[in-house]
Structure formats: structure tokens, C-alpha cells
Structure 1
Amino acid sequence: MVFDGGSSLGEGNPANAGATSIDTDVATALDPSAYEDRFSNVVDITDDPYNADPSGEEPIGDALSMAWEDDTLIVFPQGEYKMNQGFRRTGWRDVGLIGQNAVIRHGEVEAIHGHTVDEGEYRGGTMLFRLGTFNSPHEGELVFGGFIFDWSRENSGMRGLYAIINDRAEIRNIAFAGLHDLGSHGNMRVATSSPDAFARVSSVDMSGGGMHYGDTINTRETTDYAGDTNEEGLGQSWSTTGIVGHTDMQGTTLFENCICGPWPDNGMYVQGGGRQIIRNCIASNSGTANFRFNSTDEWDPIPELDENENGELTRDGTYPTSTVENSIAIVDRQPSGTYESGRSIWHYSGEGLIRDCEIVISHEDDAGGPGGNFAIGARSGVTESTIENCQITLQAPADAFYSGTSAPVTLRNVDIVAEGWDAGSAPTDVMDGQTPTLEDVTLNGSS
């Protein structure tokens, strides 16, 4: 497959409808000159003595091992690079791994069980780049991006990046081209490991989505919510999620300008610990939720986001808690291979803020309440939730809001439009669970 160095994968994603304020053009290159002054060493991985093969014929594991050093920027020129096993590094400091429209693909997979490839060119665990653990995170700075992960071949799709960060990370300009169809880990896991750590994930296109493991060659088994595995193998596809956080996170993670297609589990499941921010993103048709987030107190204000006009760091600024803003969620079909309904934005626990978002639901589901389709939901673990300046369009019977918590929940300046069905006459007619506080909330123009 030939890639042109710019991702327009999102153009085929139904979530792009009406996305006039969000940039869906994801570049897939990073300029080394913009980063080289951050590192003492800059190396071209195709140069001697590394000699990585840019034709995609020979695997690059040895070249990566030789080039990876502290305080080093590793550059991948345009080309195609094959990996026949995962690359793991823990406890290193100040490393950049950047491409210039560099295509990464894994070797042929002939048999896979769970998250391990048993037969084929590729062998072992299904994480291509695994950088850091919570016991030994990546220290200092991490720069990663400018890559196209090629899932266009049959039986392709792994976790392109697993990164645990103890300081600062810039992860950007990445496209996952094609359908993730190995039923294993989804595309990315990014998490920060200390309260003052910050990871920015920007301009990621994974609009191709992923398949449920039951529809792939993966022989894994998982259970449903009742703990049963049925004959069709339709347990939930745990971990086959587009982007995921981590339960042990602390600090701040920011996800911006990400395009997320349908996944059998969540689309952008950024919840864990600390503060998570989703802004200017688009997601559609994932099995549990398109955007799922929570918040804990394990984060410190940081200069990048929380400096006030006096140069002071404050927790009461633009992002006082985990936030989803200026993002679009679409539910217009049932995800393949799952029995879960589609939730657009799901605030799972702790405090949270949802603002300036657009949600469209045009798929009707037989279930209702917490098991059915809803535009925005607050779960029982939520301690306070604010939803403001949002537009919800229900083109099929569905709830605009569901609350499973008795904690304070406020909807403010929210317009709900029901098209083509009798939704009732008041906003509460399209709400279920605990009744929130409503301030300037309308259904088809009526409050």
C-alpha cells in the first residue's frame, strides 16, 4: 500500500458530519529540526551502524536496540519498516522516536491467542512499542510520532504504543491505516505516573476502528457481564479499545484532535487516575462508550495548562477537573460483534465537566436506562458533574441523559432536538435515572 504522507482516513467516518470546528486533517510527519535542540544526539536509523531497512523487507529490531540511548532523537526517514517482535524499554530518559511519514507494520500473523502471536513471522506479545512501566516509567522527555501504522493487510492490528510517562510526553501526528482485525490490544495506551507529569496526545487518526475478537482469527475467550462465555464467543472484547488510560495514572493527560472510529469496547477510554482532558476530538459507534472518563485528585497544576495571568499555578483555571470539550460523538449503528448499546459520553466517576459538545444518536436500541443508548451519562461513582453548552440531536428514540448517581449533576444551556419521533414535550421526557438540575435546557425549543 502506498501512503501519501497525510491522513484523510477520517473523511469516511460518519463522525465527521457537521465537524466544522474540528480539524480532521492529521499529518503523519514530524520535522527533526523542530526537536533536535532538545536532545544531545540525533541519529538516522537507516544510517550506519544501525542500517534499518526502509523497504520493509528486513525487521528493524536490532537497529532499534542499537539506536535507543538516553538523550537521543531517533529519526525514521520516509519508508516502510517491519517489526517481527515488540520493542520494550523501561526507565530510560529523554528519548525521541519520530518519523517522516514512516510506515510501521508488523510481520505476518498466522495464529494468535489473546495478546500473544503463536505462529507467523511476528512472534510474541502484541505491543509494538512498549515504553515504560509504573515501576520503571520513562523519565524526562518522550517525543513519539510521525508514523503510519499499517493495518491495511488482513490479520493486522496491535497496540502501536504503550507509554508510561513520569515527566513530559509529546505524542502526535500518527495514523492507524485500515481496520484493526486481530482482536487483541487496541491502538494506544498512554498514562502519566506522577501528579506533576503531563502527556499530550495530539492529531491521531484511528477512524478505521477495530473488530471484535469473535470475528477475527484470535482464539481468545472473554466473559460477559454475568461471567458467562456463550457458544458464539460474544463476551465483551476487553481491551480492544482505541485509546486507553490506566487505573494507576496520576497527573494530566490531554487528548486533542483525535479521530476515533468504531471499536468493540470503548473508543477513547481515557479514564484512570488524575485529570483527563479530551478536546477537539471526534468519535463514533464504539461498543461501550465513545468517550469515557473520570477524575481523581492525584494531579498538580502544570505550566502548560494552569498558569494564571499572574504567572501562578492554580487548580481553578480552565481545566479544574477532567473535561470533555468541543468534541463530537455519533451513534448511528450497533457495533459489530457486541451486545452493548452505544453511549456517546460517559462520565464514570469523580468530578467532571462536559462542555461545548455535539452528540447525534440515530440508532434505536431495545434496551433502556443504563443499558440503552444515551447521549450523556453519569455513573454511580460520580461525585459532581456539569454539562453545559451542548447540542444533542436524537434522530431515533434514545435518552439524551442518564444519571445513575444521586450526587450533584447540572445541565446548563443544553439544546435537545428530537427528529422523526414523539419524544414528549419536556426535557425530562428524554432523561432516565436520577433527575439532574436543569438550567436553560430545552427539548425542541421548549423547557
Structure 2
Amino acid sequence: MTFDGGSSLGEANPANATSNIDTEVSTAIDPAAYEDRFSEVVDITDDPYGADPSGEDPIDEALMLAWEDDTLIVFPQGQYKMTQSFRRTGWRDVGLIGQNAVIRHGDVETIRGHTVDEGEYRGGTMLFQIGTANQPHQGELIFGGFVFDWARENAGMRGLYAMIGDRAEIRNIAFNGVHDLGTHGNMRVATMAPDAFALVDSIDMSGGGMHYTDTINTRETENYDESISEGGFGQSWSTTGIAGHPSMSGTALFQNVICGPWPDNGLYVQGGGRQIVRNCIASNSGTSNIRFNHTDDWEPIPEIDENEEGELTRDGPYGQSTVEGSVVLIDRMPPGVHDAQRSIWHYAGEGVIRDCKITIAHESESGGAAGNFAIGTRSGVTESIIENCRISLLEPADAFYSGTSAPVTLRDVDIVAEGWDAGSSPASVMGGQTPSLESVTLNGSS
């Protein structure tokens, strides 16, 4: 599958990156750009589906009727209400696209963890659940052109859970308002085969989410083993902006994503295979704003790895997981259990961080590995290269923290510290293991 019809992969461009997290994305998709990929194109408001575009009657049955193999389902502009999760596994080649179509869930009265017990909406808190880790969606999946309405009180679920076994294009989606039900974050997208590829493009989740203790959610668990915290406070694991999956393989590309404050990670694309984060903006999420890793469980694909001779290679600019052309801003902490943030956190395997801009304007009560830092590596990293980045430290913080003894190189990195005594050399704003420094400056001095 090639991405055409206005859906170019584009190129990383630091000039595209901006610290203005109010940047908007388009929430419309033209069916004409995709209709030739499917044998059927249906309007979900037409007979026999009859989805109500006024938002009064639920569309759950219409979705079930319309979802078929090799079918593009179109949502005209309107309001569409869901009162239960829509789960589909075993189908192939399906598109679900809107033209500024607003999706909202029915009213929620009581919720515990990830299940709604009382209200107009009932059941699990994943609105669109496509495929599973063991049985991922096959063929193409096209999804987007939607506005998820979290602007109402007690609104916010996982808009899309998609496990991809072949190709997916997920784009032009806005999550309007603050996710305030304390359940799963907005999206989980993962490729589940070495030659699979998912493009996630033009997503606005700048409203972020609330910690569950500040919502009507009665979650009490602190850890994955369901142990209970003495204070009933716990952590907010899974309330993450975008998540990957532990069983990932293949290639996932996240570009033009705007991610606001989340009580847990923002762009938590970590899992397996190769992850690429390009031209994204992230701000003020607990734990980390962009968190990624790398495993060798991926194969070169035409969309990214074709060289000038038309050959597929693993040695191109994306021969490893990469974060590039992106902006991270830390100027406050989101509500929750964390008191520090990592801007970009390379967690394991190989990785490159390049052409990024990072600003830290909030001082953490902690320091070192537990404090704020602009870029960091963990013990599982096998090699990390950080190049052509600019880091602004407006409050005391580390520009870099290394938790690995593996090779780490900082190259052509400018660090600016303003309003506090940061020392006289780049090493004075670095912690942990000593990296290799090439053309790295602090306030103009190397």
C-alpha cells in the first residue's frame, strides 16, 4: 500500500516544530482519496445502516451492520453517540473515515478502573477496538477524520485500540477537551508483524488527561499485581496519551502529533520493533513526554527504506528507532504521583534523537535519575546518538542523563541555561554515565 491522495509521509523538518501546543489539525478526510482501495463505499447514515448524525440515538447497531471486509465506511459531518465498545477481530481491508464527524460516548455515572457500571454507556472503555495482539487486523485499516468529544464533564476513553498485522493509516483526529474519566488514554496503536507498518499522522490530544483520583473513577490499584496503596492514591498507569504494545514488531511512524499533559507518559510508543516519532509536540506529561525503544524485530519496508536504486535496506536514516524534528516543553507538572519529567527517554536498544528542541522551565524536587532531564537513556540501551538538538534549561535540570554504559554520543548539541548557575561546561548539566561529546556547548562554551 502506498500513501497517496494527500497522505504523504513527508519529511522531518525542524522548522515545522513549534512550541505552540494550540496548533490545530484537520479533522476531515476526503473519501475520494481512498475509495479506489475498496470494493464498497457506504455512507453510515444511509439505509440500511441508518446511523443518527444528530447524536440522539446510538450508532452501535449501524456500526455492526456496516463493518464488512473490503468496505470504506464514511461518516458525514455530524454528531455520533456510542453506548458500548465496538470490537472487531478477523476482518480485513476496512476503512472508517469521517468529515469532521464528532464521536462521543453516552453519559457515564459510575466507573471503576476500565469498566463503566452505570450510565447510558456500559462496559469497557475502548470505543473502537480493532484486532488483538494475537489476531491483528489484516489488509488495510484506514481510520480518521474524527473529533472525539471529551469537552463534556466525565468524558474520555480510549478512542482507538488498533493491533495491525499489515498496513494502517490513522490520521486527522482531534480529542477535544480534557480526558477526565481516569481510564485508558486516547490511543493504543501497535504493529504486530515484522513487515507491518502503521502511520499515525496529524493527531491533536493537546487537552491531555486527569489523574484518576481527580475523577469519578473508583480505581484503587497501585500496581499491575492489583496491590492497594495505603493512601488510596496509587499510580495512573495506562492513562497515557498514545501507547504502543509490549508485543510490537514491525514499524510504527508517529508524526505531527500534539500531545498535552497526561498523568502518565505522553507519547509512550515503546514496545518492540522500530518506532519513529517525527515532527511531534509534547508537553508536561508525567514520567516522560516521548518514550521509545528498539528491537530488531522489523523488516525494511518500501514506504521508508527504499534507496535510490529501489532496494530495501536496513542501513538508511531510519535503520533504528528515531525521534526527530520534535519539540518538548516542560513548564509544569500534571496532577498525579510524579514530581519529575523526562522530555525524551530512550529506554532500550538502538536509537537516534536528532533535530529536536527541548525546553525545561520547571524545577523538580528530585535530581539525577529521579529528576527532570531533557534527554535520557536507560540501562537497556545498546547505542544512542543525540545530534543537532537545542536544549533550553530555564530552571535547574540536567540536559542529559545516562543510565547505560553502552556507547552514547552527543553531537552538535547546544545547551542554554538561563536564570541559574549551571556551571561552565556541558558536563556540569549531565548526570549518570559519561557520554561521548562532539561539538557540545553550554552557553556557547564547550
TM exceeds 0.5? yes
CA RMSD of aligned residues (A): 1.8
Q: CA deviation at 1:339?
A: 2.3
The 1-side partners of 2:337 and 2:102 are apart by 31
> Which amino acid in the other structure matches residue 276 of structure 1?
Q
Matches within 5 A, 1:19-98: 19=18, 24-98=23-97
Q: Residue 111 of structure 1 aligns with which residue? A: 110
| SS in structure 2 at match of 1:338 | coil
SS at match of 2:159: strand
Contact 1:60/1:82, CA 8 A, preserved across alignment: yes
Within-5 A mapping of 1:271-286: 271-286=270-285
Conservation of the 8 A alpha-carbon contact between 2:21 and 2:258: no
What are the equivalent positions in structure 2 for 1:40-439 lying under 5 Å apart? 40-223=39-222, 229-439=228-438
- 1:109 and 1:155 in contact (8 A); partners too: yes
For residues 40 and 174 of structure 1, what CA distance do their matches in structure 2 show?
25
Q: For 1:237-277, what per-residue CA distance to the aligned partner results, in whole angstroms no more than 9, with x for missing partners?
A: 00000000000001000000000000000000000000000
Distance 1:359 1:20, change over 3 A: closer
Task: Specify the SS of the correspondent of 1:62.
Answer: helix
Amino acid at match of 2:392: T
Give the CA deviation at 1:229: 4.7
Conservation of the 8 A alpha-carbon contact between 2:86 and 2:128: yes
Query: Counterpart of 2:389 in 1: which secondary structure?
Result: strand
Change (3 A) 1:133 1:17: closer
Contact 1:240 1:263 in 2 (8 A): yes
What's the offset of the Cα at 1:370? 1.0
Q: Residue 27 of structure 1: SS of its match in structure 2?
A: coil
- Output the CA distance in 1 between the equivalents of 2:71 and 2:389: 44
CA–CA distance in structure 2, aligned partners of residues 362 and 425 of structure 1: 20
8 Å contact from structure 2 (residues 19, 281) kept in 1: no
Question: Which amino acid in structure 1 is aligned with residue 365 of structure 2?
Answer: D
Q: After alignment, is 30-39 or 338-347 more displaced?
A: 338-347
Paired amino acid for 1:164: M
Q: Secondary structure at the match of 2:388?
A: strand
Q: How far has the Cα of 1:337 moved from its partner?
A: 2.0
Q: CA deviation at 1:60?
A: 0.4
- Note if contact 2:283-2:329 (Cα within 8 Å) is conserved in structure 1: yes
1:193 aligns to what SS in structure 2?
strand
Query: Which amino acid is the alignment partner of residue 50 of structure 1?
Result: Y
- What amino acid is aligned across from residue 199 of structure 1 in structure 2? A
Q: Give CA deviations for 1:387-421 in whole Å, capped at 9, x if unaligned.
A: 00000000000000000100000000000000000
TM-score (norm 1): 0.94
State the AA in 1 paired with 2:198.
Answer: A
Question: Which whole-Å CA distance do the structure 1 matches of 2:275 and 2:21 have between them?
Answer: 19
Say how many residue pairs are matched.
432
TM-score, length basis structure 2 = 0.94
In structure 1, C-alpha distance between the alignment counterparts of 2:364 and 2:98, rounded to whole Å? 43
* Aligned equivalents of 2:445, 2:332: Cα separation in 1: 28
Structure 1 spans left out of the alignment, 5+ residues: 1-15
Task: Answer whether contact 1:22 1:280 (CA < 8 A) is retained.
Answer: no
Cα 1:134–1:182 shift into 2, 3 Å = same
Q: How far apart, CA to CA, are the structure 2 residues paired with 1:67 and 1:421?
A: 60
**Rounded Cα–Cα distance in structure 2 between residues aligned with 1:348 and 1:210:** 23
Quote how far apart the aligned CAs of 1:235 are.
Answer: 1.9
Q: Distance in 2 between the 1:247 and 1:141 partners? A: 22
CA contact (8 A) 2:109 2:118 kept: yes
Show structure 1 runs of 4+ deviating over 6 A: 20-23, 224-228
- How many angstroms apart in 1 are the aligned matches of 2:87 and 2:28? 23
Assess, with a 3 A threshold, how the Cα gap between structure 1 residues 363 and 356 changes in structure 2: closer, same or farther. same
